[in-house]
Amino acid sequence: MVDEIRGTAHGTAPVPLSVLDLVTVGAGRTATDALRATVKLAHLADARGFQRYWIAEHHSMPGVASSSPAVILAHLAAHTDRIRLGSGGVMLPNHAPLVIAEQFGTLEAMAPGRVDPGLGRAPGTDGATAAALRRADRLNEGADDFPQQLAELIRFLDDDFPDGHPYRRIHAVPGPVQGTSPGGVQSVHRPPVWLLGSSGFSARLAGMLGLPFAFAHHFSAQNTVPALDLYREHFRPSAVLDAPYALIGVSALACDEEREARRQIRAAALNMLRLRRGSPGLVPTPEEAEAYEFSPMEEEFIDSWNANVVHGTIDEVRAGLDDLQKRTGADELMLTSHAHNPELRLHSYELVADAYGLPSA
């Protein structure tokens, strides 16, 4: 699994570059429009040498059409050839571990050697929606239950519950693939599990289990370095990894002009402001954001949020990404771009690929 996890940096990129997609829906557009844009972006990322393409699970948010990552990933598998496809992440408390094992076993059968089940422990939504997603007997499950859920999922993926376990005769189908190496050694392959987090809990757990770790720098920047330090401090070599491997999610947008980048991220920040207030909607246009009268407190939120978005011309974005990678020591950067116009997002990734000398399409 080590080779599947540790990517290869192309061109002049210091580390592998990847894509995180929330399948955002802009005002005046539909979920169908957003999903079609996702296919275009995945095709571009595949052709240009990005390492991974992950879909994030969110619920009850009109401006985010990624409530079913496994469904979207199955579609993307048919439209890509080499890029790894995964969840950034599937929120494990929302689902029975057996269901996740079956979904990602199916994806692995569809796109062998290209699937990354990334797991989070947050609901990816508000409390009422989380209650609607879960069985009545699971409503009180919290962070302390996550390690047990994770262990159960890994057992299903490996198909190795011990004798006497109540699930011993239950199998996640499709399951792990039996294989033989060139040297004649028998092996079992299943997709490598990643842990996601925005605090120290999953960082510590990923380290203790020897799993790769993905940190949500794009919305928890103040915790990035402490969480990565915890991960590396607690890391124990495993059959999955012999050394720590951490990627960070980074909000980044490159435009031909700095002013346009500022307009776009301000509109995206207005969308986040509305979400934090409990009134999520479609991603507003830059014109709507320009006409909005922000209060001093709202301006403070917008400035604070955008301070962690790497944006501007491509020279500014590359400098920002390189500096962030050096400061954090991240082994991989996963870029997420938020703009009302999907073509502008596509152009941003093109600019990044060109700046780092990634393979031509």
Residue 104: pLDDT band by 50, 70, 90 thresholds?
very high
Decide: 256 and 313 in contact? Cβ < 8 Å: yes
Decide: 129 and 59 in contact? Cβ < 8 Å: yes
CA triple 211-214-215, angle to 5 deg: 135
Flag whether pLDDT at 115 surpasses 50: yes
DSSP class of residue 176 equals: P
In angstroms, the CA 282 to CA 22 distance is 13
User: Closest by alpha carbon to 209, among 239, 183, 184, 182?
Assistant: 239
Structure tokens at 284: 């507003």
Decide: 271 and 25 in contact? Cβ < 8 Å: no
pLDDT value of position 135? 54
In angstroms, the CA 43 to CA 126 distance is 32
Decide: 69 and 56 in contact? Cβ < 8 Å: yes
Instruction: Count CA within 13 A, CB hemisphere, residue 321.
Output: 33
Residue 132: pLDDT band by 50, 70, 90 thresholds?
confident
Please state whether 278 falls in left (phi above 0), alpha (psi between -120 and 50) or beta. Answer: left
Separation of first and last alpha carbons in the chain: 28
CA distances in angstroms from 82 to 143, 162, 264, listed in the order given: 35, 35, 31
| Average pLDDT score over residue span 190-213 | 96
| Average pLDDT score over residue span 314-329 | 98
Beta strand pairing call for 194-197 and 213-215: parallel
Residue 177: pLDDT band by 50, 70, 90 thresholds?
confident
pLDDT value of position 185? 47
Residue 180: pLDDT band by 50, 70, 90 thresholds?
very low
- Phi then psi for residue 195, to 5 deg, are -105, 140
| Average pLDDT score over residue span 280-292 | 96
Residue 208's CB is within 10 A of a number of other CB atoms, namely: 14
In angstroms, the CA 303 to CA 301 distance is 5
| pTM (predicted TM-score) | 0.94
Report which of residues 134 and 251 the model is more confident about.
251
**Which H or E run includes 115?**
strand 115-116
CA 87 to chain centre: 6
Residue 253's CB is within 10 A of a number of other CB atoms, namely: 27
Decide: 125 and 58 in contact? Cβ < 8 Å: yes
In angstroms, the CA 39 to CA 43 distance is 6
Model confidence pLDDT, tens digit, residues 34-81: 999 999 999 999 999 999 999 999 999 999 999 999 999 999 999 999
Residues linked to residue 26 through DSSP beta bridges, in sequence order:
283
pLDDT value of position 1? 66
Per-residue burial over 318-345, b = 16 or more CB atoms within 10 Å of its CB, e = otherwise: bebbbebbeebebbbbbbbbbbbbbebb
